[in-house]
Amino acid sequence: MDIFRKRNIPVIFTDYPEHNVDISLFDRSKYNQIRQYGLSKSPLNIIHSSAIHYQGRFRKSKSMRLLNAFLDIFTSVGEYGDGKLYFNDIESNEFQAKSSEVIAVGLCIEIMSELFNINKNLIYLIEDVKKRCDFRFIKNSLEYIIESKGRKGSTTQAINDIFMKKQNYSSSFPKYGVISSLPRDGHCTSVNVIDPAFEPRRISREERIQKMLSYYSRLSYTTGFWRMGDLLSERALAIGKGAPLEQFDGKELEYDNIIKIGNAIEIRVGDFRSQVFFPKGDGFGFNLDLKGKLAFFAMEAKLIEILNTQNFSLLEDYSLLHFEDINVNDIFFSIGNDGSILAVAPTEVLDQYR
């Protein structure tokens, strides 16, 4: 199978009586493009987003969470065919239900980021064991809620369920619903976007910074920079408890005193620089052997510099929008606008950078 080639995924925006889809928050150009032509993403892009945002069974283990997402989607992807996205029927019904949930989260994150023109570092999971597919995101200093659902059969009940929850729990259920149709019978994947009514919550700069530090703490662990992850987590916790931003703004992390107990790698492709740290032991970081290729997470070098210097203004403005996915020297990079990178590289090519 080919997980690197982009597939076309039709996206339907469905109006319901008294619940028309509010497009005022959408990037109008992206909305028109997606509505007319669909979403263009590779299975690797979907794995990338689901691995960072989906928690599932392994809420405490970043590497296991990524492995879970990677394997669930990797084994489910069908052949390229006509350029649309298909999933196969080789898994048992139990595993199909689980992989459908992971795939739906990845599709939801990709659609949200493009439609609302927001950085993925402003999308975060609702911290509730029962809400592993419910997310909050920030736009224009307002916080919205969105729910992801994935079904291999009919999506009617999933859509009705979102509206029913909204009626019963108006303060905690979604402004938008993203329902992925993931059939295993030869039909292609599609996505339905719906819009129950919702009153957003205003977010302060302190809370926005706190959530971004927490987000990049999780990403740092996944890319192997565990000391940076610890320091970012400590600062996010302190800000959440009321510490002023001035206490940390511009105060360097000085995380790199642990480089000697692992293997740091920088990969350059033209002006694009990415870094990953392979620490000794299996506690942090992620890499998965794929029959002579290695899948791993990395971060864009400029982002690491901003996180280390703790320049909060630069962090708020940071976005990696001008880079497309890269395929060079048989290394495939899925690049997120949050500065996260999911790469797959032949082991012998990667050894040249060690």
First-to-last C-alpha distance (Å) of the chain: 29
Residues 136 and 231 in one domain: no
Domain boundary among 180, 202, 224: 202
My answer on whether 65 and 159 are in the same domain is: yes
DSSP string, 246-296: GGTTT-----GGGGGGEEEEEEEETTEEEEEEEESSSSS--EEE-SSEEEE
Q: Is residue 331 located within the same domain as residue 277?
A: yes
Residues 170 and 87 in one domain: yes
- Is the pLDDT at 106 greater than 70? The verdict is yes
| Residue 137 falls inside a structural domain | yes
Mean pLDDT estimate for the chain: 83
Q: Tell me which residue range forms the domain holding 311.
A: 205-351
248 and 320 share one domain: yes
User: Are 93 and 29 in the same domain?
Assistant: yes
Query: Residue 319 — very low, low, confident or very high, per pLDDT cuts 50/70/90?
Result: very high
Residues 83 and 68 in one domain: yes
Supply the pTM of this predicted model. 0.85
pLDDT-derived band at 173 (thresholds 50, 70, 90) equals: low
Q: Are 296 and 276 in contact (CB under 8 A)?
A: yes
Digit-coded pLDDT (tens) for 217-244: 989 988 888 889 999 999 999 999 999 9
> Does one domain contain both 134 and 169?
yes
Q: Kindly state whether residues 259 and 314 are assigned to the same domain.
A: yes
Domain end point (choices 202, 235, 258)? 202
Residue 127 lies in a domain: yes
**How many folded domains does the chain comprise?**
2
* Phi, psi values for residue 309, rounded to 5°: -80, -15
